[in-house]
Amino acid sequence: NPIQPPELDKCGTATVNDKPVEYSCCPPATQRIIDYRLPPVFQMKIRPSAHRVSPEYIFKYNLAIDRMKRLPKDDPRSFMQQANIHCAYCNGAYDQAGQSNVDLQVHNSWLFFPFHRWYLYFYERILGKLIGDPTFALPFWNWDNPKGMTIPPMFVDPNSALYDEKRDPASLPPAVVDLGFTKNTDTLQVVANNLTIMYNEMIRGNANVYDFMGQPLREGGEPKGGGSSERGSHTAVHVWVGDPRQPNGEDLGNFYSAGRDSLFYCHHANVDRMWTLWQYFLPSNKVPDKKITDPDFLNAAFLFYDENAQLVRVTVKDCLDNLRMGYDFERIDLPWLDYRP
């Protein structure tokens, strides 16, 4: 059977390295849950590359995050409540519904892409609502392109709402992201190695759909392994940004705290873009069937608060097409496509 949405009233203590997280990651409880229906798309939102945005865009984004930070603490749309979604779904605050011996975990399986897609979807709509701009689209951190391999500048301005001090000082610009943990000091070699890693995880390393998407996870089961993108570039960026001076690699370097850095959502917008690229733009000679038709995948469900603070139930099958969800990505060339090692 598919993974069912969590029972919010049974949300408990989250843990990090076997110790309890010192605050509650549970969302405010609500009685009424609505089955979410994707609204009709009138205007496509275009998510921009974070290294290419205009000062006007940065101003708007900053304003939206600032307003999110100022919402009352118990508003499910507030900055900390949004960060806590990740903590609750990933650090054992929830059991699987009706399975009190098994934690709910959305990493290391085929739930990874769908869960994070829905998470960003509502996060983006909340930001848009806070600035009265329903076309607002999150930026993506274009770490797969040499032009985007540093932390995007807008996140490192200490006066910005996008700033977070809990990051590895050694990874601040102009440091180049190191997707292969090489610790190589030759920047050109790191860039070349990054492109090779992208080629491998997007193209060469995938013999079937699960190699990319992650292994099946069904009700009562434990995660059996994430896809190439999740295990590769996705995790590398988390670790690379997380602050080694903090006890658990906070913020980006640990599940429970990752959402407290606004860079998390920018990073995940690019992870989400990788899914879209893999689905629609890559040659299908190696993976002829990129669709998972298993009902245990399609009917898996999650709960989120939408931009009106209404609790909604969403399913995996409704998030398989980003265009139907009303957003697309700025087109950027893909230098790794030809980077056959």
Q: Which of 238, 267, 297, 329 is catalytic?
A: 238
Q: Which residues contact 12 (CB under 8 A, 6 or more apart)?
A: 26, 93, 94, 95
Quick note: the x/- pattern for ligand C2O over 223-262, rule CB under 6 A, is: -----------x---x-------------------x----
Q: Which residues contact 77 (CB under 8 A, 6 or more apart)?
A: 68, 71, 126, 130, 305, 307, 309
Toward ligand C2O, which CB reaches closer, 122 or 339? 122
- Please indicate whether residue 267 is annotated as part of the active site: no
Shortest Å distance, C-beta 238 to ligand C2O: 6
267 annotated among ligand-binding-site residues: no
51 annotated among ligand-binding-site residues: no
268 annotated among ligand-binding-site residues: yes
Distance of CA 88 to the CA centre of its chain: 14
Host H or E run for residue 328: strand 327-329
- Asked, as a colleague might, if the bond just before 216 is cis with ω within 30 of 0, I would say no
Does position 273 interact with ligand C2O (CB under 6 A)? The reply is: no
Does position 117 interact with ligand C2O (CB under 6 A)? The reply is: no
- CA–CA dist 2, 63 (Å, integer): 39
Shortest Å distance, C-beta 112 to ligand C2O: 7
The residue type of 247 is: P
Q: Which of 122, 136, 255, 329 is catalytic?
A: 255
- Please indicate whether residue 238 is annotated as part of the active site: yes
Toward ligand C2O, which CB reaches closer, 131 or 241? 241
List the interface residues with ligand C2O, window 71-110 (CB under 6 A): 86, 90, 107
Instruction: Count Cβ atoms below 10 Å from residue 161 Cβ, excluding itself.
Output: 18
Give me 6's structure tokens: 């969590």
Q: Which of 116, 155, 297, 304 is catalytic?
A: 116
Shortest Å distance, C-beta 90 to ligand C2O: 6
Q: Locate tokens 């009902």: which residue?
A: 295
Instruction: Count Cβ atoms below 10 Å from residue 341 Cβ, excluding itself.
Output: 10
Maximal CA-CA distance, the chain = 56
Give me 253's structure tokens: 């370097």
Contacts to ligand C2O by CB under 6 A? 86, 90, 107, 116, 234, 238, 258, 268
Catalytic site residues?
86, 107, 116, 234, 238, 255, 268
Binding residues for Cu cation: 86, 107, 116, 234, 238, 268
